[in-house]
Structure 1
Amino acid sequence: MTETPPGQTVTRPSAWTRAATDGLSRSDNTVSPIIYPPEESIDPDLHLWDTWFLRTRDGSIAEIDGYRVILALTSSSDLLPGKRHDVATIRYFYSSDGRNWETGGEIFADASGSIEGEQPFGSRQWAGSALYDNGTVYAYYTASGERGEDELTYTQRLAVGYGGTIDTSDERLEITGPWTHTIMLEPDGDRYETQAQSRGMIYTFRDPWFFEDAGETYLLFEANTPVPEGSPHCDDDTEAQQFNGSVGIAHSPSGDPTEFELHDPLLDAVCVNQELERPHIVVKDGTYYLFISSHMHTFAPGIAGYDALYGFASDSLFGPYEPLNESGLVLTNPENAPFQSYSWLVYDHGDELLVNSFFNYFDFDRPSLDDVALLSESEQMRRFGGAPAPTIRLAVDEYATKITGVLAHGHLPLPTEPLPESPFSGRDRDRRDGYLS
């Protein structure tokens, strides 16, 4: 067992309980407005979904010679949306104003598409995070499958490519290698479930998110808690036992952003939910806010959840965590557009929080995302957003949150930039049918 990081009192794992989820219900404070396609796409040749920012060690958005950078999972826009995860590639985009974005290219390849340095791990790369430190880019990612495999497999490991540098000459930003890649962590079968231990839904060990706190270096990630067959968990309900999501954490004793040791999870959702995706923390006024995204279909039988952003709060990194708004629900889609956005990422902006996500399926109100497959291929393509969604403004008061406004699609303001007056001011939000940018 690894030792507790310096200065930390360990009270974990905290639990997201079925009792808390009894309170899951849409409200005016948690439902985002209906959104529509942007007037212009960042890149019409690409599907774009899970998105994250290039950040510095203190968690702030990196600004390099007036540019800010986002990274995202991408695929060709000619591909059926449901197939995009099988070929996911991380690309980067840059902007001088946080509104208008230019495509930089594949993060690990040069302008010709050739890999610079070592090959990334996996047959495709899933979501992660990115650090800019002392002139070097560290691109954290999920290595899914194996290099060069002929048939897709679903092994998941936490990886990082490092050694990238940034050039801002010629009125553009370019990230270049060569890159060195390393597998940082794999599930241990004790704290975190392995693929061999999993039953039912696909296991998770993904979404590495770099985080520093009080001078200590951490990595958060999505995982599952091992629940052996014959376990008394969930009152011996073997079906509910398959829903065993957790938020994992690893610590770097040396502060090296490429070397980490596993610790016990911060939060688990055994008997509640199987996927606690893209975990990340925002520290505000001394409170640690832990956020995750999850789907309607990953809740255990008997729990009526949503595709939504969920959150928890504590006065310590290691807990105990309590669900925000009592149930954990922070932000979800309207009932008549239940899958319009997904994969939320929260960041601090002075007196409020901002939330970005991607534009998923619009003009689609069927009860399950699986029903997308019932549409014709042309309708699947038409209804998939594949672009950044509008940025949501969020007020937080200790353990309570509420939506207060909306910015433009993909707007990423710096903390020093003033925001426009909230579009919800003076409006009857129960009758809203759109949004203002």
Structure 2
Amino acid sequence: MTATSRDASAQLAESPARWTARHVATIANTACERVPLITGGDFAPIGGGIGIWDAWPVQASDGSIARLGDGSSLWMALGAPWFDDPDERHGHARIHLLRHGEGGGWHHLGPAMPDGFSPGSREWSGSARLDRTGRRLTLYFTATGRRGEAAPSFNQRIFAAEAELAADGGAPRLTGWHALREIVIRDPAHYMDPAEGSGSVGTIKAFRDPAWFRDPADGRDYLLFAGSQAGSRSAFNGVIGAAVADPAAPGNWRTLPPLLSADGLNNELERPHIVHHGGRYYLFWSTQAHVFDPAGPIGPTGLYGMVSDRIGSGWEPLNGTGLVCANPREAPCQAYSWLVLPDLSVTSFVDHWGGTFEPGTPRRFGGGFAPFLHLRLDAGRAALA
């Protein structure tokens, strides 16, 4: 291990920051930012006979959104055919490639990886970046289950794979997929084996959602991921994990202790990611009301975050509670999986829209991009712009 990677390991070896019941209990007594109500005219399917959720842009080597020659951008999103029960989509998820035009339109370009390439029975969330040439793409993703398994399992492994981007006329495409490798190895001292959890929605344990971040202060590459705390006595033991790349061998990743723990409070701190803004680091994640410990307190389904002046420690909850914004009260499940982009715009997908979701009633799954939001960040305060 190099001196640089030792320094990074030491920096993140401190006890993780804590998101606690004390923080969440304060939400009820403070002004809560609510996102605008989504109507049927605010979104549309992307085509291809699929619904999409969890999306991310392809990033340039400096962390910005990569642009093609015509100004459009490439995105990836989880996609699956439409089902009467939208929860069934998770068992059929594949990563799809999309093009986002400057005019705002979305174009479906098909599955990102070829059939039979992924080692899982399905593909869950990740991130992607281009190298400095803008032609070689690295995809970080979650391989869930194992290819060919008789029944879907919830084993989760974090992989990387590489492809060439061909964008010379016609629709962009990814070719020559290779270098498939498992890159973040679960440390049992810190992270629970996700196979130990159940398969019911809201109780699945995590080792997923790798989000790439390059620290502008020193050029180190990190992956943030959703995990579950090892050795916890609580069923609600979500953490945000981290791995750091070896500067001398950027393809080698060292698994680090968690950055943030919600042990005893919340089961899933999903799609964690970092944005650097105004000299500070902002750590964001999404979570849902039904994955809080029912003994309370329970926060709304929304975007949450913390702020620090360094990656390894010092994280404090934004707005004193961690809550950045939540779905409207009249449609508490309308959107999910918020991702804050470098320009502070925020993407998410339309989930159960148009009202409350009552158990036993049909779900109104939107399966498309929700209207983009925009944040305003001022030190420890965050609000919708």
Q: Distance in 1 between matches of 2:267 and 2:51?
A: 26
* Match 2:254 to one of 258, 261, 264: 261
Q: How far apart are 1:64 and its partner, in Å?
A: 2.3
Q: Is the partner of 1:22 in helix, strand or coil?
A: helix
Partner of 1:160: 160
Partner of 2:315: 321
Partner of 1:417: none
Partner of 1:293: 286
After the TM superposition, which residues 17-416 of structure 1 pair with which residues of structure 2 at under 5 Å, given as runs? 17-25=20-28, 30-37=33-40, 38=42, 40-43=44-47, 45-66=49-70, 67-77=72-82, 80-97=85-102, 99-109=104-114, 114=115, 119-133=117-131, 134=133, 135-162=135-162, 164-195=163-194, 201-213=203-215, 214-228=218-232, 238=233, 241-254=234-247, 256-300=249-293, 301-349=295-343, 353-366=344-357, 371=359, 374-375=360-361, 379-380=362-363, 383-404=364-385
Q: Distance in 1 between matches of 2:357 and 2:51?
A: 22
Aligned length: 372
- The gaps in structure 1 that reach 5 residues or longer are 229-237, 405-437
Please report the TM-score for the alignment, with normalisation by the length of structure 1.
Answer: 0.80
Instruction: Decide which structure has the larger Cα Rg and report it.
Output: 1
- Pair 1:140–1:19, CA change in 2 (3 A): same
- Pair 1:290–1:21, CA change in 2 (3 A): same
- The gaps in structure 2 that reach 5 residues or longer are none
Q: Distance in 2 between matches of 1:85 and 1:99?
A: 27
Q: Distance in 1 between matches of 2:10 and 2:103?
A: 37
Q: Is the partner of 1:108 in helix, strand or coil?
A: coil
Worse-superposed segment, 68-77 or 253-262 = 253-262
Contact 1:359 1:389 in 2 (8 A): yes
Q: Distance in 2 between matches of 1:281 and 1:330?
A: 14
- Pair 1:152–1:320, CA change in 2 (3 A): same
Contact 2:16 2:257 in 1 (8 A): yes
Q: How far apart are 1:96 and its partner, in Å?
A: 3.3
Q: Is the partner of 1:242 in helix, strand or coil?
A: coil
Contact 1:55 1:132 in 2 (8 A): yes
- Pair 1:120–1:359, CA change in 2 (3 A): same
Q: Is the partner of 2:238 in helix, strand or coil?
A: strand
Contact 1:227 1:244 in 2 (8 A): no
Contact 1:281 1:288 in 2 (8 A): yes
Q: How far apart are 1:293 and its partner, in Å?
A: 0.4
Q: Distance in 2 between matches of 1:390 and 1:92?
A: 19
CA RMSD of aligned residues (A): 2.2
- Which residue identity does 1:279 align to in structure 2? P
- Which residue identity does 1:120 align to in structure 2? S
- Which residue identity does 1:309 align to in structure 2? L
Q: Distance in 2 between matches of 1:264 and 1:75?
A: 33
- Show CA shifts across 1:167-203 (max 9, x none): 2233321222233311112322101111366589321
Worse-superposed segment, 79-88 or 141-150 = 79-88
- Pair 1:84–1:6, CA change in 2 (3 A): closer
> Could you list the runs of 4 or more consecutive aligned residues of structure 1 that deviate by over 4 angstroms after TM superposition?
6-11, 26-29, 196-200
Percentage of identical aligned residues: 33
Q: How far apart are 1:10 and its partner, in Å?
A: 5.7
Q: How far apart are 1:84 and its partner, in Å?
A: 0.2
Please report the TM-score for the alignment, with normalisation by the length of structure 2.
Answer: 0.90
